[in-house]
Structure 1
Amino acid sequence: MAFRPRGPRPGPPKSAEEIDEIVRKLRNEQTRPENYRERSLKLHGWICAKCGREFELSNLHLLTVHHKDGNHNYNPPDGSNWENLCVYCHDDEHSRSILADYLAGKDKKR
């Protein structure tokens, strides 16, 4: 008895155009990490949540997304873990937690 693979039987070979179309569809549906920055900018606007500075396209690169809980992998679609902060406020936000840890005696080197 000859070996017969299970599953659906393959159909006729696909043309190059059909293969290209399949690849295009797969790339569009690909489960890549969603661009949470673009979504946060749409949801929260082009303004720093801390200092209130408003941004334009020419300086939008200075507006960053801060993850409130510190987990960059937690990106709920409603944007509840994000706040848009300018680079200066974002640096301040992170340096505050470093200073607080230092003052509380939480040395990360231990």
Structure 2
Amino acid sequence: MTPEQAKIVQNARKYADERAKGYREQALKLYPWICGRCAREFNHANLRELTVHHRDHNHDNNPQDGSNWELLCLYCHDNEHQKQIEAVYGGSAGTTGPAAATHNPFANLKERMNKK
């Protein structure tokens, strides 16, 4: 990585951290420290595992009333983003994965049972 690229990455990380701290701190003041999906409760000891999810997936959309945020635990947050990825790519197999199964093992079951 060139020095210029390293500087760009460093600045991007710094900006992301500052942005995240701003809306994270606001969300933690607005909402109870409970995951919005699984209802797991958090305290100061495990608060780092509670994340702020942007409902519209736009991290720059941070209204002061918190209407675009919800608090999710790490696991539920990952699951939420996985659901979005699967929706975009047509399900968990994706568009480039194997084709749907077409074989039906029970197709001629009635005929097989009548052969006895």
Normalising by the residue count of structure 1, what TM-score does the alignment of the two structures yield?
Answer: 0.63
Query: 2:83 — aligned with what?
Result: 96
How many residues are paired up? 76
SS in 2 for 1:100: helix
SS of structure 2 residue aligned to 1:58: coil
C-alpha RMSD of matched pairs (Å): 2.0
Q: Percent identity?
A: 57
User: Which residue pairs with 1:13 in the alignment?
Assistant: none
Counterpart pick for 2:37 among 50, 54, 73: 50
Q: Which has the higher contact order (CA 8 A, sep 6+)?
A: 1
Shift of 1:103: 1.1
| Structure 1 runs, 4 residues or longer, greater than 6 Å off | 104-107
SS in 1 for 2:42: coil
TM-score (norm 2): 0.60
| 1:41-78 per-position Cα deviation (integer Å, ceiling 9, x unaligned) | 11111110111000011100000000000110110000
For structure 1, which runs of at least 5 residues remain unmatched after alignment?
A: 1-31
